[in-house]
Each structure stands twice: as C-alpha cells, then as structure tokens.
Amino acid sequence: MTDTLIIGTIGLDTIETPFGKVEEVLGGSGTYASFAASFFSKPALVSIVGTDFPKHHEAMLIMRGINLSGLQRTGKTFRWEGMYEFDMNEAKTLKTELNSLLDFKPSLPEEFKDIPYLFLANVDPDIQLAILQQMKSRKFTVLDTMNYWISSKKEKLLEVIKNVDLLLLNDGEARQLFGTVNLVHAAKQALALGPQYVIIKKGEHGALLFSDGKHFNAPGYPLEVIKDPTGCGDTFGGSLIGHIARTKDTSENNIRKAIIYGSAIASFNAEGFSLQRLSSLTPEELERRFHEFRTIREF
C-alpha cells in the first residue's frame, strides 16, 4: 500500500559533463526522488508530463513500484539542459523549457490525501503550499527547494517551511535564505521557523543535521568517479522520506540513519548519467555502502 507521497517534476534532461553527454534522458526532481524512495517504501509520484513523454520511462517507474495514478498529461514535457564544469560542483543551466509544468494543477486524487509521509521535492512553493492544504493526516513532511525559489518567492517559501517537519537545503541555499555564512546560525534560524529538523547538504562534504540541541555530521562518500551529479539532492531526499516511511520512526537517531541511506543512494546516483546506476543497484550493494559509511567514520 502506498505510504509515501512525492510531489516533483518529471523532465527530459540534456546533460554534458567532462565524462560525456546525454540527450533527453529521464530526469526531474520527482523522478529521482520517487525512484530513490522505491528502495525503501511504496511511493506515489504526483507530477505532470507532456503527451510526448516516452512510454518506456513511465513503464520503468511503474516497474519500480511507483504509483503514477496521480500523473497529469498535457502539452509538451518539461526539458532542461545543463552542463558541469571540471569541478562537478554545480550545474550550469543552459536552457529551461517549462512546457507542461506551467499547467501543473496541484489537485490531489482523493486516495492520496491520507498518505502519511510526504516529500515536497523541488517545485514552485505555490504548488507545495497547495498540496499541503489538501493533505488530511500527514505524519511527517520533508521539504526541498532551490536557489531560484529563494530569490523569486521567498515569502511563499517561508510559509511552506513553517508547515513542514524537515527542511532540506544545500549550503549555498542556507546561506542565501538566512543571510549568514555560518551554517550553524542558518540552521538555528531555520529551526526557529517551525521544522523539527534541518538538513544542510554539502555535496562531496556530506550533510549536517540540526535539531533542538543536537547535531549530526554525515560524511561524504569518497567517490573516485563522479559521472553526473544531477539528481543527487533529489535521490537524497527521496531516500530520506522512504526510510522514514519504512521504519515509521521520526526520532533523531533514525533520521541519522535515513541521512546515511540518502548519502549512499546519492553516491551511487553520481556514478552514472540519469538513472543508469540506480536502475541496476541491488539491496545488497546498498547495505554494503551503508556499512562502509560506518567504517569511514569510526575512531
């Protein structure tokens, strides 16, 4: 039974990195997040695609057990073109075609309104807020966003933040949103808005969890080959809500474990373009890497 609801985008990505170029591959925050969540729980993805969206992509998501009954279809699918320079730290957006995303109606199917675990992946804060208002019995909500919304819809975004349990930001976004370079200060400001937890993602440097009086520092995984970091943040968030839904445990201790699962999945994701690597990932490989995260931080 579906226990995890994910709201996010589905898109066709054209990506260039120092390791190659791919055209119109499956991407989008909702795609990456739900694919990652499917390693842990039974996710439903609410999103929108165009009538041109390839059937085999949809089939692949359904094969992973992702409920697509809330998928809307109209016009042309959202497209994104980006490239990564040598240091692979940040995508440079070359082109964005919103297309059908502009028609995304955030109205939930009735049967989704009681799903307990919700991940608002990166979409317009207006949509995120509209979704929150329709949910009837949320147990735990994770929110992701991006610099674009911090610049263009800060007030609306703050309103969303006040209504979630866990806020995900990367370090640059945290600094931007709270006007401080010190991540501890940024996290405190975030917690003061309402969320019980704040996670600051730092790419190759790992992630930081802040909650009332507690702090957890998750290591980055020492990857030798980073082919394509697209979707790492989304798979991190999807794993997080997936692990929480699977365990029905929102204690700080369990959020720590969820972060390590998220870091493990994100590290695999970076090893290939699009969902290449995650498509072949086995539960045994995942557990092995989870365990490796323990060994690299023991002292």
Q: Which residues of the chain form contacts with a copy of itself (CB under 8 A)?
A: 86-88, 181-185, 202, 204-206, 208, 215-220, 222-224, 226, 253, 256-257, 259-260, 293-294, 296-299
Cross-strand pairs, 83: 16, 92
Q: Is 205 left (phi over 0), alpha (psi -120 to 50) or beta?
A: alpha
CB of 220 to a copy of itself, least distance (A): 7
Amino acid identity of residue 38, one-letter, is: S
CB of 206 to a copy of itself, least distance (A): 7
Nearer to a copy of itself, 76 or 185 (CB): 185
d(CA 166, CA 31): 20
CB of 290 to a copy of itself, least distance (A): 9
13 by DSSP, 3-state: which? Answer: strand
d(CA 299, CA 295): 9
Of 47, 62, 73, 198, nearest to 131 (Cα)?
47
Of 110, 107, 162, nearest to 136 (Cα)?
110
CB of 154 to a copy of itself, least distance (A): 21
Nearer to a copy of itself, 168 or 218 (CB): 218
Tokens 């073109």 appear where? 81
Nearer to a copy of itself, 51 or 251 (CB): 251
Amino acid identity of residue 67, one-letter, is: N
CB of 221 to a copy of itself, least distance (A): 9
The burial class, CB within 10 Å (0-12 / 13-18 / 19+), for 135 is middle
Nearer to a copy of itself, 19 or 148 (CB): 19
Nearer to a copy of itself, 62 or 181 (CB): 181
In this structure, what are the phi and psi dihedrals at residue 126, rounded to the nearest 5 degrees? -60, -40
Nearer to a copy of itself, 138 or 202 (CB): 202
Nearer to a copy of itself, 43 or 233 (CB): 233
Nearer to a copy of itself, 65 or 219 (CB): 219
What is each CA distance from 192 to 13, 158, 159, 267, in whole angstroms?
A: 37, 11, 13, 31
Give the β-pairing of 43-49 and 197-201.
unpaired
CB of 57 to a copy of itself, least distance (A): 31
CB of 181 to a copy of itself, least distance (A): 5
Amino acid identity of residue 238, one-letter, is: G
Q: Which two tokens stand for residue 106?
A: 């955030």
CB of 255 to a copy of itself, least distance (A): 9
